[in-house]
Structure 1
């Protein structure tokens, strides 16, 4: 296996392991993993098309996740005062609570993995990931 594929595979395994370790707590919060990622971006991307682009997901999938989040009371759609034809997305107080708890869960679980690294290694990992993502945004 070439180096790029190996790095990608390791990264995927790590992320999957961390997310799997959070699944029970996410379930208790009423959040599916992908709903968690969508909910986490609503404050930055107020429109479904922006969310789909940001998350690199099909618009139809984002629509399904948003419908679920609206039904759970985590997100609401409001008329955009600047363009009455558009609906703007807003995280509700319940959505904020669920997101905060989910982020704490994720952070706590990922911290257990990061604890295996020295402080300098953690800093280097963060620097490298930021460098890789810098041109994506």
Structure 2
């Protein structure tokens, strides 16, 4: 087998791992990756606003707002108006949201980051450089992407 074929197989395995984990997350928790990451962010940060969530997860505020609307419609989060500024509000998890979050599988990137962090700095830099080079070779440099492993778009789509 050629080196090129081995590389394509490795890339395909990565894509399949992301796809399989995304399906597991949806099957077990009824959530998409972005929804899970947003729930985790709301749980982790005190008095968090939608703007802060968007900054934390590196998604546009419009995309986050659509996801928040869906999470609120499912009863997983609550929007609480600020007493100081009636135009803004804080986000909290509902009891149902807390229960779902406690049972949901961890995002795929959590395991990856844990393993990646254990590598020596030189090896981390080498992997980063190689993967950035792959992105250039695949004309993927200008594609908007958040730091999460999820198949499909992170735009405001019906599945978010």
Q: Same fold (TM over 0.5)?
A: yes
| Structure that is richer in strand per residue | 1
Q: Residues 123 and 65 from structure 1, CA distance in 2 versus in 1: closer, same or farther, beyond 3 angstroms? A: closer
Alignment of 1:40-55 (within 5 A): 40-43=40-43, 44=45, 46-55=48-57
Query: How much does 1:14 deviate?
Result: 3.9
Instruction: List runs of 5+ in structure 1 lacking aligned partners.
Output: 115-121
**Aligned 8 A contact 2:25 2:32 in 1:** no
1:125 corresponds to 2:127: no
Task: Give the total of aligned pairs.
Answer: 111
* Structure 1 counterpart of 2:63, from 61, 64, 80: 61
User: 1:38 is matched with which residue?
Assistant: 38
Structure 1 or 2, whichever has the larger Rg, is 2
Q: Residues 49 and 124 from structure 1, CA distance in 2 versus in 1: closer, same or farther, beyond 3 angstroms? A: closer
Q: Residues 127 and 36 from structure 1, CA distance in 2 versus in 1: closer, same or farther, beyond 3 angstroms? A: same
- Counterpart Cα distance in 2 of 1:53 and 1:11: 27
User: 2:23 is matched with which residue?
Assistant: 20
Q: Residues 52 and 19 from structure 1, CA distance in 2 versus in 1: closer, same or farther, beyond 3 angstroms? A: same
TM-score (norm 2): 0.54
Q: Residues 83 and 24 from structure 1, CA distance in 2 versus in 1: closer, same or farther, beyond 3 angstroms? A: same
Q: Residues 34 and 83 from structure 1, CA distance in 2 versus in 1: closer, same or farther, beyond 3 angstroms? A: same
- Counterpart Cα distance in 2 of 1:68 and 1:123: 30
1:79 corresponds to 2:70: no
**RMSD across aligned positions (CA):** 3.6
Instruction: List runs of 5+ in structure 2 lacking aligned partners.
Output: 126-146, 148-160
Superimposed CA distance per residue, residues 10-58 of structure 1 (whole angstroms, 9 cap, x where no aligned partner): 766544432333321122xxx3332122111113271111111111111
